Structure 1
Amino acid sequence: MSRSVFITGGNRGIGLAIAEAMAANGDRVAVTYRSGEPPAGVLGVKCDITDPEQVEAAFRQIEEAHGPVEVLVANAGITRDTLLMRMSEDDFSDVIGTNLTAAYRLAKRATRGMLRARKGRMIFIGSTVGLRGEAGQANYAAAKAGLVGFSRSIARELGSRGITANVVTPGLTETDMTAVLPQEIKDSMIKQIPAGRAAQSEEIAAAVRFLASDEASYITGAVIPVDGGAGMGH
């Protein structure tokens, strides 16, 4: 059956691939974006997820168009990479605010409809960096690691109501963000990946689509790595 799916940051990269995969599945898909244009065939909602009022307005718009959100994919995120000694208060708080605090805000609001329906899927896009750490990304790693504890707490709170919460942790993925990296840096990163290559956004989307499906109804509190083996053991 067609479901109401809400994806943050769904107009490019991994978020866009997830939106396209869910729409191809027949779902009613809404995505947030801050700049550019939303993809065709989905409901685009301009929203800054760090602003509680804009998040509330986004949910109301989606609920009016598609009904209560049944699948939430918290994908939007930012980086402010720098070494710890050079990291400003804003570098740290902005990344935590967008990547972790906003996920709390979205999940809390989505819970209303999911509890009434006694079913729901929450999927948080984490990162291998949140499991193994990375020099120059202490803020990003902290935020992504936080998603694991957050989702597992949701799984324990809401599991009996038919609501699942899981984290997908991509590794190096071919996106606009990674396209600007110098080739020598990408080559160095790929050498650390057992699969010997970066992921495609569609491969991340496939894992999300599965976790959102009925087949994954007994999977909750899980961390699903889609990283070519880069984070194994973590």
Structure 2
Amino acid sequence: MHIAEGFLPPVQAGLWFAVSAPFVVHGAREVVRISREKPEARLLLGAVGAFTFVLSAIKLPSVTGSSSHPTGTGAGAVLFKPPVMAFLGLVVLLFQSLLLAHGGLTTLGANVFSMAIVGPWAGYAVYRLCQSVRLPQMVGVFFAMAVANLTTYVVTSLQLAIAHPDPVGGFGAAAAKFLGIFALTQIPLALAEGVLGVLLFRGLVAIADPELRLLGFLRAPVSQEPANV
């Protein structure tokens, strides 16, 4: 999901910035709102950003000769809803491009769109779907993390196919090629991220119970006081 500097034509790079900007602005407002209305959740909000930064900075070699990364955005989407991740993702990707040379500045809009917008929304949608059919909550967490990861790479593959269509087969052939290189090989890593997400949330339940109840991830305890007769 880290498209490197110079891999996108200037016009396309600018368009991805334009598409991503409203989501980032809305996400920044949500971060401010949550910080004001739920100050107890600020530490967890910062932890979500740090978790995304560390996890998405891990660079693993791929069997296709490329590299793969976890994303970590599904966790924040489940806890704080997807808009928050658009802003946090921008901050994460900006620092990674400046400090780690992961991704580029001109491709920042495209990288934000795939990792910080589409990925979190897809993961959150699957999480809510699992809730609607009454699957165990940790099953929803697993799929949210895995889908957020995999969707990011699917979108990145399509972005590259738009920028570099095949001379013969055009966009379709290029998309098939990039999906085979990035998305297909990402499946095992997406599943592993799903397992990591379950372990993460089990740990959070043990150490951050009040904050999770405040955010609605855990239901508030039922009062034990006897009812008036």
State the TM-score, normalized to the length of structure 1: 0.27
Q: Which has the higher contact order (CA 8 A, sep 6+)?
A: 2
The structure carrying a bigger strand percent of its residues is 1
More helix by share: 2
Rg larger in structure: 2
Q: TM-score with structure 2 length normalisation?
A: 0.28
